[in-house]
Amino acid sequence: MGSLEGRVALVTGSGRGIGATIARTLADSGASICINDIDQKTAESTAAELEATGVQTIAVQADVGDFEQAEQMVKTAIDKFSKIDILVNNAGLTRDRVLMRMPEEDWDLVLRVNLKSAFNCSKAAVRNMMRNRYGRIVNMASVSGVAGNFGQTNYSASKAGLIGFTKALAREVATRNITVNAVAPGYVPTDLTDDMAEEFKEAIKAQIPMGRFGDKQDVANAVAFFASDEASYITGQVLNVDGGMVML
């Protein structure tokens, strides 16, 4: 992967899970990192881990589904590093239930955290990117947003909306040397999937042509590619990282 020396990356929801792996991968390529998590201790723990390896980093607690908190987070990162080159909209959650049994608050929460947060953070960061005539925005979508998934009308809608957001924003900022792309993971074991029944996990695995689940590093590698100069002529695209689970 190409060098990210001199670049500054803000990764939302990066205190743990896929987000933390993305942050580590970008840091390994030379980027300075802003770690965000809704839990301050989690953000600080991951930031301290990176700092111990010599990475310039900052931990910022923020609920990125809240516009003012997202805006302040971006300001804090810019105050620290003078710019943001790379924004990874990774923060997300699930509240799975069939539509007939889904409470309105579960619908609202998933759309707020998974989709509105990307609007909040991108709006706050893109002005700085446009001024610098450089930017890489990578949105964490999902194959559920590409093909839909049983019991995930809220999650699938949020991720499908994120794909549409990606394509529209890519058109708006392309002339300023800013790319906007999405990574759509398939099934990748994380804290969010630990409670799934084993028979359900095996049923999912049976749908994957490669016959295995993905790894957090598989997703992080795709994000790092979109963040690199090697992807400078790619924008408005969705890359499925799913072992062939969804082919269109």
| Three-state DSSP string of 168-211 | HHHHHHHHHCEEEEEEEECCCCCHHHCCCCHHHHHHHHCCCCCC
| Concatenated DSSP letters of 133-168 | T-EEEEEE--HHHHH--TT-HHHHHHHHHHHHHHHH
Beta-bridge partner residues of 136: 86, 179
22 residue type, one letter = I
Beta-bridge partner residues of 185: 241
* Nearest CA-CA partner of 75 in 60, 55, 92: 60
Which residues are part of the catalytic machinery? 155
